[in-house]
Amino acid sequence: MKMLLGLVAPTSGRVQMLGEPFSQRSAKRVLPRVGSLIESPSFYGHLTGRENLDIVRRIKGAPTTAVDAALETVRLTQAAKKLAKEYSLGMKQRLGIAMALLGSPELLILDEPTNGLDPAGIHEIRELIKSLPRTHGLTVIVSSHLLSEIEQMADTIGIINQGRMLYQGSLSGLEDAGRLVLTLEDAEQAAAMLRAQGWQIEQVQGREVTLPVYEDKHIPQLVSSMVNAGVGIYRVEIRRRSLEETFLELTERAQTVQVAA
C-alpha cells in the first residue's frame, strides 16, 4: 500500500498507478488522483475535524466547499468543531476517510480501515466504504486481515502471501459450487437408499450425507424420496468454503510449492 503512494520504495520491481509508471516525477500527476488512509488514523489532535480537513484540502488544492462535502459524506458534520483528539476511534477513522476523499480522487486506498474498531464501528465503516463507489464514482482498494470483512465489501480481491500475489480476480471466482449436505436421523441407511435410487453420494460422515449440488428442481424429489422412506430429515443445505478456508488453502499450497522448490 505504501509503495503505491511512494511512501516506501520497492526493493525490486516497478509500480504502475492509474496506467502510469509510478516515480518521484510522475507522483506529482498521479497522487492528486488518489486518496489514501494508511495504517492508524492520522490527524492533528489539537485541531478540530474541520481544521484538519482544511489543512489537507489546501495541500491538495481542493475548493473550500470540499470540506463540507467530505464531512457530510462521513457523517461528521455535527462533530466538525470538536477537537480531533476528542473523537472516538470510529470518528477518527471517518475523519481519515474524509481527508482521503478531498480532491475528488478516482482511486481510494484504505489500509486496514476497520482495525481496532468495535463491531458497531466496523459495520459503520464497512457501510461507508461500500457506499463510496456508488456515491462518488471511485474505485476503492481495501487491505485487511479480516477476511470476513473483505467478503462483505469487495467485488474483486487479491490474495498476497509473503509478497507474492496468489490470486487476483472476482470474489465469485474463488467461490466453489459447494456441496449439498443432508443432516439425517440415520445417514448410513439413507445413503444406501439414495445410492440405490441413483443419487451420487460423495461422503457419509456421522449424521451427514454429502452430495454434489443438484439443480433446485431435483431437491423436492430428493427430499420426498427420503420422507417416503421414513428417514428423519433435520437439515438440507448447500455448504460453500468461506473466503478464509480458500485463503488458507491457497497460502498452504503456495508454501508447499515453495518448500518443494
Partner 1 sequence: MTAMGVEVSKLRRKRLWLTVLLVLGFELLWIVAILTVSLSRETTAPHTMGYAIGQASQVHAIVAPILATVVVSRLAAMEHDGAMLPVLFAANQSRGSLFLTKYAVAATISTTATVIVVAAVALVAGGQGVPADPGLMIAWLLGLVLANLGIVAIQLLLALLFQRQAVTLTVGIVGGLVGSFAGFVPPTIAAFIPWQYPGLVTPVRMEQTGGTITGFPLVDHLGVLIALVGVVGAACTAAGTAVFAHRVSR
- In order of 67, 69, 205, the CA distances from 77 in angstroms are 10, 9, 56
Q: Which amino acid is at 230?
A: G
Q: How many CB atoms lie within 10 A of CB 213?
A: 16
The nearest distance, CB 58 to partner 1, in angstroms, is: 5
The nearest distance, CB 194 to partner 1, in angstroms, is: 59
Q: Which amino acid is at 260?
A: A
User: Contact residues for partner 1 (CB under 8 A)?
Assistant: 2, 5-9, 11, 27-28, 31-32, 34, 36, 38-47, 51, 54-56, 58-61, 96, 99, 102-103
User: Grid cell 456515491 — which residue?
Assistant: 135
> Please, which residue, 109 or 128, has the CB nearer to partner 1?
109
> Please, which residue, 73 or 246, has the CB nearer to partner 1?
73
Q: Answer yes or no: are the C-beta atoms of 182 and 199 closer than 8 Å.
A: no
The nearest distance, CB 256 to partner 1, in angstroms, is: 30
The nearest distance, CB 141 to partner 1, in angstroms, is: 13
Q: How many CB atoms lie within 10 A of CB 107?
A: 17
Rounded-to-integer distance, Cα 212 and Cα 200, Å: 7
> Please, which residue, 12 or 172, has the CB nearer to partner 1?
12
> Please, which residue, 46 or 240, has the CB nearer to partner 1?
46
